[in-house]
Amino acid sequence: MNSSYDSLVDLFLKSLRAEKNASQNTVSAYANDLNQFFIFLQEHYRKKADGIELEVLSHYDIRSFLAYLHRAGYNKSSVARKLAALRKFYRFLNKEKLIANNPLFFINSPKKDKKLPRYLEEKQIEQLLALPDCSTPLGLRDRAMLETFYASGIRVSELVGLDLPQINLDLGYMVVYGKGAKERVVPLGSFAIEALQNYLRRGRPVLLATQNNDALFLNYKGVRISVRGVRLTVEKYVRRLADSLKISPHSLRHTFATHLMERGADLRVVQELLGHVSMATTQVYTHVTTSKMKEVYDKTHPRA
């Protein structure tokens, strides 16, 4: 790497460590991305990329670099990450008054491809919910957890954080604290209520290690179950259902939302239930239901 360019990058990386408390992995990733940009300039423009050359680089040079990455087969996420590294680098140089120019000012980040969420079909979710052995305390807990996920669509962190005072099984709802400690009331279906009642009567008292513990879901040691514990539990049952399925606790949240949409739920209601701040976040489920609708149409319409 050119010594002048190298010294500027070194100053930038030192600031990441000192001021931003960045991890070594993060610092190494920035270093690799900035090194790739330098190599591109050397190979394609024969520029020295010292302080003066960085000063005169234009947005056309950045666009050429992005085109090079595209031709090399990088996906949009990788390109966006490399572009973010350059943005941060140039902001640092501007802030420290090392250069005045910023060729990224007119460059937009590539839009990431929207991935449709993974979810289970109704028959699959029924099979999954029937797997726990309800003759054991942990089986009762697992059934209650899975039913709660599917009935409410809550996040795994929200499920782990549930305390006994937050649930009201007589009225069939629970109070959930989402991102930013934002509170929302989430209804529970009859199957989830029954599973929770069974767990609270015959499962949780057996698991409970100390009386001063309000955590709803406990692990085998009798203390609050962790996010990792929930993930491992869900993965265990998914493997029993089908090894090929890539289903996580978050996929059960997607399943909840997708099934509501497929049965005609209003998008704004789904947004409220999921605790999404923006409607745009919820709109991914319209893509899922549209594809499902097209599939049904193709199968059933005589002239499809």
Residue 253 catalytic?
yes
Say which of 14, 179, 236, 239 is annotated catalytic: 179
265 alpha carbon, distance to own chain's centre:
24
Q: Measured at the alpha carbon of residue 271, what is the angle toward residues 267 and 275, in degrees to the nearest 5? A: 170
Residue 285 catalytic?
yes
Say which of 82, 88, 141, 155 is annotated catalytic: 155
Q: Quote the CA–CA distance of 190 and 292 in Å, as a whole number.
A: 27
Residue 240 catalytic?
no
Cβ neighbourhood burial of 119 (10 Å; 0-12, 13-18, 19+) = buried
Residue 155 catalytic?
yes
Element (H, E) at 38: helix 24-45
Q: Quote the CA–CA distance of 207 and 35 in Å, as a whole number.
A: 54
Please give the DSSP secondary-structure letter assigned to residue 252. H
- Phi/psi at 134 (5° precision): -80, 10
Residue 250 catalytic?
yes
Q: Quote the CA–CA distance of 47 and 49 in Å, as a whole number.
A: 5
Q: Which residues contact 35 (CB under 8 A, 6 or more apart)?
A: 1, 9
Cβ neighbourhood burial of 285 (10 Å; 0-12, 13-18, 19+) = buried
And the tokens for 277?
A: 């701040």
Angle subtended by helix axes 122-129 and 227-241, to nearest 10? 110
- Give 177's strand partners: 183
Say which of 82, 204, 253, 254 is annotated catalytic: 253
Say which of 48, 184, 276, 292 is annotated catalytic: 276
Say which of 81, 118, 250, 292 is annotated catalytic: 250
Residues assigned a catalytic role: 155, 179, 250, 253, 276, 285
